[in-house]
């Protein structure tokens, strides 16, 4: 399993052609208290960068983008009942959706954990 | 993900932002500073939800020094009469040290700003919105006789202490404030510092707004947050608190296209003024009163959990736009989303079902009475 990060503060954990996607701890900290999450339905097909999910905090609404191209396997139903999981465990239980990858070479453009840490340190 | 489009203005920072006198104080308390009304202001310290709920249970301290504090005085003229020619409220008949909510109106009756005005023994004290204060001052100046002086208290901060425990805290600093009731004000001395304190605010809770010279603002703020019941509260919670209280936000729920009765602010145009007119915009405002507004500001309870925010529209069953949302968010005290918006007058009755549309998605809601959360104002006891 390898975890990659985007400049838009999504993380994607990849194993073979399957992946789990969520938003980073930095992102949830910027958003504040999450009150609503809309995750994509199974079989939705994304191109890299497409709007994939919506996350709403008390303050604001934000789109979550597909970090790579692929097809949704399932959204995280637990976020419907308990959107605050995004705050309490953003990089674990607070995942957004699982997907299959269509082109794993797209991962080459993403950051690893160290690169992402450097990236947010400069923000 | 993208960062906030709803509060995008608030999340940006501009080099040109004016710093509050207490800027460093806010930063020392971990205030996250954002751009608002041309100022760099704390949007949150601990988190909007926590700060909101704290204020509803305890007391919150808000720095609202971006707002314009004005003094109107005259040696020769009756300032009250001059203000009645400008504002639609009962200003001249206001008791000494009493305040009123009022509106600054254009000639066509459109709302240029909303404000609080206090009659004091020797002058009138007015607080206007920060984002439009310079335009307000120019407009007020232009529409008052030259003999009335308008002073902008640029060297004064404005702090608001809000919440059910605000009265206890204030009483410990200044015992005499216990005599103040909602919409009353007075001057006090605290530790050699003169303060102008009114029992008013923008959260729906009991509380105070305190005008203090910049030189003493930090000392006062420190003395207030030294009480364990008091925490500093940012603009984010200020917005969610006022929304739950049903209070409109200028530039969002009110603007120059909207007249007072459409804004459900008819109480700001009391009976005598409706009969006599004689204020700027009165012809248009009284015409709207007589024929009734086409669109009306209402409170909306939104189904589900997704907030429906400013910019969303209200549609009929055929998908035609019939209204719009001017404020909205998740209500921390209610744990469901609420909105404010304008609907056709015949749909303004409580319980009317609405179809809200946000980013192409339909969300159900219905008209509900405001405030969404009961207010906690400390009103004078009823005479026996």
Return the domain boundaries, chain B: 8-65+155-244, 294-384
- B201 falls in which pLDDT band (50, 70, 90)? very high
At residue A5, the 3 state secondary structure works out as strand
Tell me whether strands A97-101 and A18-23 are parallel, antiparallel or unpaired.
antiparallel
Query: What number of other Cβ atoms are within 10 A of residue B384's Cβ?
Result: 3
Longest alpha-carbon distance in chain A: 37
Q: Which positions in chain B touch A58 (Cβ < 8 Å)?
A: 48-49, 52, 236, 240, 329-330, 332
CB contact at 8 A, B48 and B237: yes
pLDDT of B8 strictly over 80: no
Report chain A (123 residues): mean pLDDT per 10 consecutive residues: 94 95 95 94 95 92 94 96 96 97 95 96 87
Residues of A in contact with B2 (CB under 8 A): 8, 62-63, 65
- B291 Cβ under 8 Å from any chain A Cβ: no
Query: Cα dist. B220→B144, B228, B235, B237, B364 in Å?
Result: 35, 15, 20, 21, 46
For residue range B33-86, list pLDDT tens digits in order. Answer: 999 989 999 999 999 999 999 999 999 999 999 999 999 999 988 999 999 999
pLDDT for the residue numbered B3: 59
A interface toward B at CB cutoff 8 Å? 8-10, 23, 27, 30-33, 35-36, 38, 54-65, 83
Q: How far is B125 from chain A (nearest CA, A)?
A: 33
Residue B6 has a pLDDT of 38
Topology annotation, domain A2-102 = OB fold (Dihydrolipoamide Acetyltransferase, E2P) (2.40.50)
| Minimum Cα–Cα distance from A11: chain B residue | B1
- The CATH fold assigned to B294-384 is Elongation Factor Tu (Ef-tu); domain 3 (2.40.30)
Interatomic CA distance for residues B329 and B343, integer angstroms: 18
What pLDDT is stored for residue A123 in this prediction?
A: 83
B 299-338: CB under 8 A from A: 304-307, 309, 329-330, 332, 337
Mind telling me how many Å the CA of B339 is from chain A's nearest CA? Answer: 13
Q: List Cβ neighbours of B179 (8 Å cut-off, separation of 6 or more).
A: B186
Band of the pLDDT at B380, cuts 50, 70, 90? confident
- Of chain B, the end-to-end C-alpha distance in Å amounts to 61
Cα end-to-end distance, chain A, whole Å: 28
How many other C-beta atoms lie within 10 A of the C-beta of residue B352? 16
State chain B's mean pLDDT as an integer: 95
C-alpha distance from residue B69 to each of B94, B144, B167, B212 (Å): 19, 17, 23, 11
Strand partners, B329: B338
Q: Tens digit of pLDDT for each residue in B205-261?
A: 999 999 999 999 999 999 999 999 999 999 999 999 999 999 999 999 999 999 999
Out of B3, B306, B329, the one facing A58 most closely (by C-beta) is B329
Burial of B206 from C-beta contacts in 10 A (0-12 / 13-18 / 19+): buried
> Running DSSP on this structure, what letter comes out for residue A17?
T
> How close does chain A come to B32, measured CA to CA in Å?
10
Q: Does the structure show a pLDDT above 80 at B4?
A: no
Within 13 Å and on the Cβ side, how many CA atoms surround B300?
36
Q: Which of B1, B240, B337 lies closest to A23 in CB terms?
A: B1
- CATH, domain range B8-65+155-244: 3.30.1360.120
**CA distance, residue B243 to nearest chain A CA (Å):** 12
Please say if the pLDDT value at position B15 is more than 90. Answer: no
- In percent, the amount of chain B with pLDDT more than 70 equals 96
**What's the alpha-carbon Rg for chain A, to the nearest Å?**
13
- Residues B46/B47/B51/B52 CA torsion (nearest 10 deg): 180
User: Domain limits of chain A?
Assistant: 2-102
Distance CA B339, CA B330 (A): 9
Task: Please list every residue in chain B whose beta carbon sits closer than 8 Å to the beta carbon of residue A83.
Answer: 305
Question: What is the rounded distance in angstroms from the CA atom of residue B356 to the CA atom of residue B364?
Answer: 6
- Which residue among A9, A32, A38 sits closest to B1, beta carbon to beta carbon? A9
CB contact under 8 A, B5 and A62: yes
Q: Measured between beta carbons, which residues in chain A are less than 8 angstroms from residue B305?
A: 35-36, 83
pLDDT at position B274: 97
Chain centre distance of CA A70: 13
Q: Can you give the pLDDT at residue B187?
A: 98
Q: Has residue B32 got a pLDDT over 60?
A: yes
| Phi, psi angle pair for A62, to nearest 5° | -140, 150
Please tell me the predicted confidence (pLDDT) of residue B103.
98
Distance from CA of B242 to the nearest CA of A (A): 14
**Among candidates A36, A55, A58 on the partner chain, residue whose Cβ is nearest the Cβ of B236:** A58
Residue A96: helix, strand or coil by DSSP?
coil
Q: Are strands B18-19 and B39-44 parallel, antiparallel or unpaired?
A: parallel
Which residues neighbour A14 within 8 Å (Cβ) at sequence distance 6 or greater? A1, A2, A3, A4, A101, A104, A107
Q: Within 13 Å of residue B311, how many CA atoms lie on the same side as its CB?
A: 13
- Peptide bond preceding B371: is omega within 30 degrees of 0, i.e. cis? yes
**SS3 per-residue string spanning chain B:** CCCCCCCHHHHCCCCCCEECCCHHHHHHCCCEEEEECCEEEEEECCCHHHHHHHHHHCEEEEECCCCEEEEEECCCCCHHHHHHCCCCCCCCCCCCCEEEEEEEECCCCCEEEEEEEEECCCCEEEEECHHHHHHHHHHHHHCCCCCCEEEECCCEEEEEEECCCHHHHHHHHCHHHHHCCCCEEEEEEECCEEEEEECCCCCCCCEEEEEEEHHHHHHHHHHHHCCCCEEECCHHHHHHHHHHCCCCCECCCECCCCCCCCCCCHHHCCHHHHHHCCCCCHHHHHHHHHHCCCEEEEEEEECCCCCCCCCCEEECCCCCEEEEEEEEEEECCCCEEEEEEEEEHHHCCCCCEEEEEECCEEEEEEEECCCCCCCCCCCCCCCC
Q: Are B265 and B256 in contact (CB under 8 A)?
A: no
CA gap A27, A38 in Å, rounded: 16
Angle of the B235-244 helix axis to the B48-57 helix axis, nearest 10: 60
Q: Which residues pair with B52 in a beta bridge?
A: none
Least CA distance to B332: which residue of chain A? A58
Q: Which two tokens stand for residue B39?
A: 């100022």
The stretch B330-353 carries a mean pLDDT of: 97
Selecting from A33, A38, A65 the residue whose C-beta is nearest the C-beta of B1 gives: A65
């Amino acid at each position: 399993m390898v975890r990659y990060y985007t400049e838009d503060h999504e993380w994607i954990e990849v194993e073979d052609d399957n992946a789990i996607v969520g938003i980073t701890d930095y992102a949830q900290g910027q958003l504040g208290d999450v009150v609503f999450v809309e995750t994509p339905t199974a079989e939705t097909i994304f191109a890299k960068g497409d709007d994939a999910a919506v996350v709403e905090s008390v303050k604001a609404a934000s789109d979550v983008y597909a970090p790579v191209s692929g097809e949704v396997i399932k959204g995280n139903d637990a976020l419907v009942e308990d959107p605050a999981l995004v705050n309490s465990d953003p990089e674990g239980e607070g995942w957004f959706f699982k997907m299959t990858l269509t082109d794993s070479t797209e991962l080459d453009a993403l950051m690893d954990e160290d690169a992402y840490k450097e990236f947010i340190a400069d923000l | 993900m993208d960062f906030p489009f709803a509060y995008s203005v608030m999340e940006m920072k501009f080099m040109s932002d004016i710093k509050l006198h207490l800027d460093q104080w806010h930063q020392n308390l971990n205030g996250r500073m954002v751009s608002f009304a041309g100022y760099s202001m704390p949007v949150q310290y601990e988190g909007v939800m926590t700060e909101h709920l704290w204020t509803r249970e305890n007391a919150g301290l808000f720095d609202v020094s971006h707002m314009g504090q004005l003094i109107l005085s005259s040696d020769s003229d009756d300032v009250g009469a001059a203000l009645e020619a400008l504002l639609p409220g009962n200003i001249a008949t206001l008791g000494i040290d009493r305040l009123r909510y009022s509106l600054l109106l254009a000639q066509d009756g459109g709302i240029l700003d909303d404000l609080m005005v206090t009659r004091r023994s020797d002058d009138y004290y007015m607080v206007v919105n920060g984002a439009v204060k310079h335009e307000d001052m120019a407009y007020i100046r232009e529409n008052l006789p030259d003999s009335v002086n308008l002073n902008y208290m640029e060297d004064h901060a404005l702090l608001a202490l809000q919440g059910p425990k605000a009265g206890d805290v204030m009483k410990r600093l200044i015992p005499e404030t216990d005599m103040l009731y909602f919409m009353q004000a007075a001057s006090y001395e605290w530790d050699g510092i003169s303060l102008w304190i009114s029992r008013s605010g923008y959260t729906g809770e009991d509380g105070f707004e305190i005008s203090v010279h910049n030189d003493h603002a930090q000392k006062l703020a420190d003395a207030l947050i030294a009480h364990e019941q008091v925490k500093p509260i940012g603009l984010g919670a200020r917005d969610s608190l006022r929304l739950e209280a049903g209070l409109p936000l200028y530039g969002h729920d009110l603007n120059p296209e909207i007249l007072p009765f459409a804004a459900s602010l008819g109480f700001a145009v009391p009976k005598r003024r409706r009969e006599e007119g004689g204020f700027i915009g009165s012809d248009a405002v009284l015409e709207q009163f007589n024929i009734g507004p086409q669109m009306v500001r209402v409170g909306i309870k939104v189904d589900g959990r997704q907030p429906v925010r400013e910019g969303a529209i209200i549609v009929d069953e055929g998908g035609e736009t019939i209204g719009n949302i001017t404020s909205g968010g998740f209500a921390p005290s209610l744990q469901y989303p609420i909105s404010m918006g304008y609907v056709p007058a015949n749909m303004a009755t409580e319980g009317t079902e609405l179809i809200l549309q946000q980013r192409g998605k339909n969300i159900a809601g219905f008209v509900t009475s405001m405030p969404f959360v009961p207010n906690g104002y400390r009103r004078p006891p009823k005479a026996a």
